[in-house]
Amino acid sequence: MKLVKILTATSILALSSLSASAYNTVKCDSDPVFSANSCNQCFVDSTARWEGSTIGFLKDDWINSSKYDKLMYKEEQEMPKMINLAPSTVSWEQKPTKAGFWEYTPELAKIYDKENEGYVLKKGQKVTWIKSKKWFYYKLTKNKAPENKNIGLLVYSIASRNILENGTINPNSSTHKECVLFKSGKKVEQAKAIPAKKQTKAPAKKLPKTGPEHYILFLLLSMILGFGVMKLRRKA
Stretch 132-154: mean pLDDT: 97
The CA–CA distances, whole Å, from 181 to 6, 63, 131, 153 equal 29, 20, 18, 5
- Count how many domains the chain has: 1
Which value, in Å, is the radius of gyration of the alpha carbons in the chain? Answer: 38
Residue 223 resides in a domain: no
Q: What share of the chain is helix, strand, coil (3-state, %, to 5)?
A: 25, 35, 45
In a domain, 216, yes or no: no
How much of the chain exceeds pLDDT 90, in percent? 69
Q: Is the pLDDT of residue 17 over 50?
A: no
> What's CA 37's distance to the chain center, in Å?
27
Beta-carbon count within 10 A of 36 CB? 11
Buried b (16+ CB within 10 A) or exposed e, 178-207: bbbbbbbbeeeeeeeeeeeeeeeeeeeeee
User: What's the DSSP call for residue 27?
Assistant: -
Q: Can you give the pLDDT at residue 217?
A: 53
Has residue 218 been placed in a domain?
no
Q: 177-200 pLDDT, tens per residue? A: 999 999 999 887 655 556 666 655
Q: What is the pTM of this model?
A: 0.72
Does residue 203 surpass a pLDDT of 80?
no
What is residue 187's predicted lDDT score, i.e. its pLDDT?
83
Do the domain assignments include residue 137?
A: yes
Task: Say what the pLDDT of residue 230 is.
Answer: 39
Q: Is residue 6's pLDDT more than 70? A: no
Instruction: Please indicate, yes or no, if residue 203 is contained in any of the structural domains.
Output: no
Residue 225 lies in a domain: no
Strand 102-104 and strand 90-95: the pairing is unpaired
Strand partners, 230: none
pLDDT tens-digit profile of 70-96?
A: 999 999 999 999 999 999 999 999 999
Full residue range of the structural domain in which residue 34 is found: 2-183
* Residues above pLDDT 70, as percent of the chain: 70
Give the mean pLDDT of 86-108: 97
Within a domain: 233 = no
**Is 197 among the domain residues?**
no
